[in-house]
């Protein structure tokens, strides 16, 4: 007689990028075991593990490798909430006495921060513009791990969807790396900063934490964002 198969609860969330409802399930033991190996995994291995777990826990209904990085962050954190705990412990540095202390936030209170002046179409000059797409999870992880100009340049290049001039449009997937490099290298600092603004104002998964320093009783308001704080 076969062993019984346990029912796994399912939940829903809305993707930050589209508002589309997505059904998901918690980590199973086999997936949690894999997550425990992430501390010693290489950068590429971490990317693969996160993508695969998000994919399988959303029932393979999403094209995970094409999702914006903030969608992956948001899904992963909600997976963690339903699989491990809604509570995430963090270390806060007091703005007054500069001492560090332990605090926490609830994943259910995560918010998507959106800038009112954000636009994915950027006019480089009066005639030429760029249409941007959001960077993928692997590009953001690579940038965080290396934090150098080459990684920034690579992420910018991979996030350009197309270049347009009046009624002409050039899709970057039809252009060579050399041509794209030449185009970006021909920009002035001011023009490149317009592209940087796209990334700085892109949607972010954030959490504000109100806490009181146990050392001096100063009330701190801390904003938590980024992979280094969320993927705990």
User: Rounded mean pLDDT of 16-21?
Assistant: 93
Phi/psi of residue 212, each to 5°? Answer: -115, 130
* pLDDT above 70 (res 226): no
DSSP state of 194: H
pLDDT digits (tens, 9 = 90+) for 87-132: 988 899 999 999 999 999 999 899 999 899 999 999 999 999 999 9
pLDDT number for residue 232: 43
pLDDT at 125: 93
Alpha carbon separation from 52 to 80, 167, 187 (Å, rounded): 14, 40, 37
* Domain spans in the chain, listed from the N-terminal domain onward: 11-84, 88-110+204-230, 121-200
User: Does pLDDT of 222 surpass 80?
Assistant: yes
Render pLDDT for 30-54 as a digit per residue (tens, 0 to 9): 888 888 887 777 878 888 888 999 9
| pLDDT the model gives residue 228 | 52
Question: Which tens digits make up the pLDDT trace of 74-88?
Answer: 999 999 999 988 998
CB contact at 8 A, 105 and 207: yes
* Higher local confidence (pLDDT), 163 or 148: 163
Residue 146 CB neighbours (<10 A):
13
More confident residue, 59 or 231: 59
> What is the mean predicted confidence (pLDDT) over 203-210?
92
Q: What is the pTM of this model?
A: 0.85
Distance of CA 176 to the CA centre of its chain: 27
Q: How do 100-106 and 87-93 pair as beta strands?
A: antiparallel
What is the reported pLDDT for 144?
65
pLDDT at 231 over 50: no
Mean pLDDT of 5-10: 81
Angle value at C-alpha 185, between 182 and 191, nearest 5 degrees: 125
Between residues 141 and 166, the one the model is more confident about = 166
Q: Which of 50-64, 132-146, 170-184 is predicted least confidently?
A: 132-146
Neighbouring-strand partners of residue 212: 219
**What pLDDT score was predicted for residue 46?**
83
d(CA 34, CA 24): 18
């Amino acid at each position: 007689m076969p062993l019984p198969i346990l029912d796994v609860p399912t939940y829903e969330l809305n993707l930050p990028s589209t508002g589309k409802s997505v059904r998901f399930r918690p980590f199973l033991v086999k997936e949690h075991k894999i997550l425990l190996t992430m501390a010693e995994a290489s950068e590429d291995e971490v990317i693969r593990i996160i993508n695969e777990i998000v994919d399988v826990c959303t029932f393979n209904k999403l094209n995970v490798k094409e999702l914006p990085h903030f969608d992956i962050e948001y899904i992963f954190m909600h997976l963690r909430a339903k699989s491990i705990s809604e509570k995430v412990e963090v270390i806060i540095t007091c703005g007054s006495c500069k001492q560090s202390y332990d605090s926490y936030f609830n994943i259910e209170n995560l918010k998507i921060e959106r800038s009112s002046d954000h636009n994915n179409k950027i006019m480089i000059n009066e005639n030429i513009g760029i249409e941007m797409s959001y960077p993928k999870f692997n590009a953001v992880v690579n940038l965080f791990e290396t934090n150098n100009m080459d990684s920034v340049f690579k992420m910018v290049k991979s996030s350009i969807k197309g270049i347009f001039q009046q009624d002409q449009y050039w899709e970057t997937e039809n252009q060579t790396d050399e041509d794209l490099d030449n185009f970006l290298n021909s920009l002035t600092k001011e023009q490149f900063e317009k592209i940087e603004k796209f990334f700085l104002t892109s949607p972010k998964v954030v959490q504000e934490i109100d806490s009181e320093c146990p050392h001096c009783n100063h009330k701190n308001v801390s904003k938590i964002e980024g992979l280094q704080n969320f993927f705990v």
